[in-house]
Structure 1
């Protein structure tokens, strides 16, 4: 099913910047369970959570509860999610993709807070790169480009020479706004949605591609 891979396979990138949830790991059941529990506690209609995947929790909370409850409600969802890692699994090809890249050419940029990112990476045993940018590190999360710009900055590379790997339209928008090329994995959204978000290429998951990294950069190949 790969779409548009030809636009990426002829290029050499300075680094690959991965989203985490839905791209490297499947935390879907945990996310739904946690947010429904939070919504019940906060008196929020769970239907209002639709379409929020890939957006930092603080931004979601700010849309759903009054300002005087933002701090406590944001802390509450973080506490619920950090405490619940049951059922989180590594997505196909993710471990191999991370392991294939030199330390200075890979980063994770996630909408999770730092405690939540640490909990989920630890639960899966993924080889975490040295650079992990979280919602705790930026003032504005996806779809703002700040997470990917900061990841590139910490790696010391030009964002325009980076490949962003994402599963959500908000993340694709963030990558594009940062000037990066974008590869979408169709794990949480329909292919049509990812194409509409203007991802450069779409694959089912990371088992559909091979990443090769060396001193000259990173290259993407069809699996």
Structure 2
């Protein structure tokens, strides 16, 4: 058993669902429209869209370019699929103990969750809800606050080192998903290949998370 927690907070991309193919289509269109090298642009996928635009483009057009990336990603959702164990995990954790904390905007997470056929939790913290996105702890602190629990009693499931860093800075326990990184790169308290390697059981004490042998 990994532990019993008052709340479970999931990242989305790379943890609950695979949106890589749809993201690449959107970024290729964006790169063509703005005259940017696609290979350079795709290095920053997964970051908040305006932050990506500020890295790649002049400051005066970055806000509009960030909105364009979000529009392209939200309308290119074909091929977004749930990762192993995602459906079971979301079904097992009750709404009062469940949140998603994502670098997606509200528009994008709604589109991708729908494309993947996953239910959107009552508590969903998006990039547009916080001043500082991941790796800052803001998203996780807000998720814990909205659930009414102490961050120290939350566990965060993340595939990205930046997300794990933010969760740890918020005081949360962390479980890394090895979608794109090694255990050492992720830096979580525990690591598994997919959510299918874990069982989630709601108890009077909290959500009990165990490894599936």
Instruction: Judge same fold: TM > 0.5, yes or no.
Output: yes
Identify if the C-alpha distance between structure 1 residues 80 and 54 changes in structure 2 by more than 3 Å, giving closer, same or farther.
Answer: closer
Are the counterparts in 1 of residues 45 and 52 from structure 2 also a CA contact under 8 Å?
Answer: no
CA distance in 2, matches of 1:49, 1:179: 32
Q: CA RMSD in A?
A: 1.4
Long gaps (5+) in structure 1: 1-8
Post-superposition CA distance 1:183-223 (Å, at most 9, x none): 11111x231xx423421111110001101123321111111
Cα distance change of structure 1 residues 213 and 51 upon mapping to structure 2, 3 Å threshold: farther
Shift of 1:138: 0.9
In structure 2, the gaps of 5 or more residues are none
TM-score, length basis structure 2: 0.94
1:49 and 2:12 equivalent? no
Alignment of 1:219 onto 2:208? yes
- Please name the residue that 1:209 is paired with: 198
Give the alignment partner of residue 30 of structure 1, picking from 6, 15, 22.
22
Matched residue, 2:115 = 123
Of 13-22 and 37-46, the range deviating more from structure 2 = 37-46
Within 5 A, what are the aligned runs for 1:1-223? 9-187=1-179, 189-191=180-182, 194-223=183-212
User: SS of the residue aligned with 1:17?
Assistant: strand
Shift of 1:77: 0.5
Q: Say if 1:54 and 1:214 are closer, same or farther in 2 by CA, change over 3 A.
A: farther
CA offsets 1:93-140 (integer angstroms, 9 cap, x no match): 001001001111110011110011111111122122110000111111
Q: Number of aligned residue pairs: give it.
A: 212
Distance in 1 (alpha carbons) for counterparts of 2:2 and 2:21: 37
